[in-house]
Amino acid sequence: MIRCAVVGASGYTGAELASILLRHPDAEIAGMFGSAREGEARRFSDLHPRFRGECDLEIVPTTADALRACAPDAVFLCTPHEASALLVHELLTAGLGAVILDLSAAFRLPREDAYVRHYGFTHPRPDLLPPHELPGRRTERSGPAGAVYGLVELRRRELAGASLIAVPGCYPTSVILPLAPLAENGAVADGSSPIADCISGVSGAGRTPSERNLFCEVSVQPYSVWRHRHGPEIEAYVGRDVVFTPHLGPYDRGIVSTMHVQLAAGWSGESVRDLLGRVYADAPFVRVLPAGSWPSVNGVRGTNFCDIGLASQGGHLIIVSAIDNLVKGASGQAVQCMNVRFGIDERAGLATGAQA
């Protein structure tokens, strides 16, 4: 059994992760950890009542010694970006020896200066950032082993030996899976920038309350236009500029991303569909839908699937994806990475979808 520690267990992604690990045939939850600032220790099921009698572990303050005491094989960090960066540094310095799967953005971006600009902190371990991406080509790793970007469908081989895995963001997953193969294979017209309009459920904002997320205030609206933190991540792994606009939707979970692409000469909707079918032929969680079928939030809710539909007219391609932001956009993707890293069936714990 793979012994798993969950750090940041009080949030939505921590709860989703626990739900998946509890039914995983080859994994067990060895410990649950939270911030020392949360005060008196509480049981996981007190924060998430649906787990009463199923997971009543105490959430204890996170320290390297406490993590070492539970002897984990895998540590999942469901923590804020800067906290993850500092904690990874601490755990590596302490020689924990477990595989670290970070669900924050602390190790996703290839450029050190991007953390100051987009996340507001100086990165403590720039040597662990993933290699720079080049347009249309994935860069081979060289030098000291750093983080591996955990998009299994495009990084499977690198994940097999990774000790630090940067689990992709929810919006980037929904955009990179459809667009990266097009950019890499020359299907996007030169000089054009794909447009990605994405709508996420409210859980994408986390559990901390704000006025915009109140029941009586939530609506369909764009936010963080031109300045959302996921923009640089999308561009780094698509391999070209992308005009990305996120929207908040009045539902709890799920993302639908509608992308507009100016196709290069010789490409059509059918040739794009054929390309995606070949690229994802062995990817159990990517479903390229038949012509005339379109993804939906309900079609992927509680699952680790990414559904993709598309159509073209006059050289303009509309391609739409849908994922569950808490599963394929976070916790399910993290478990998929763990499965590949430990050499077990990548569908383990995920084949029936997470409990919505």
Annotated catalytic sites, by residue? 170
Run of H or E residues at 152: helix 152-159
Helices 170-184/152-159 angle, 10° precision? 90
How far, in Å, CA of 83 to CA of 35, rounded? 10
Angle (deg, nearest 10), helices 230-238 and 170-184: 20
Give the DSSP letter string of 75-88.
EEE-S-HHHHHHHH
Contact 242, 175 (CB under 8 A): yes
13: left (phi > 0), else alpha (psi -120 to 50), else beta? alpha
| DSSP secondary structure letters along 253-289 | S-EEEEEEEEBPTT--HHHHHHHHHHHTTT-TTEEEP
Q: Token digits for 246?
A: 């996120």
DSSP three-state, residue 1 = coil
Within 13 Å of residue 179, how many CA atoms lie on the same side as its CB? 32
Distance in angstroms (rounded) separating the CA atoms of residues 251 and 219: 9
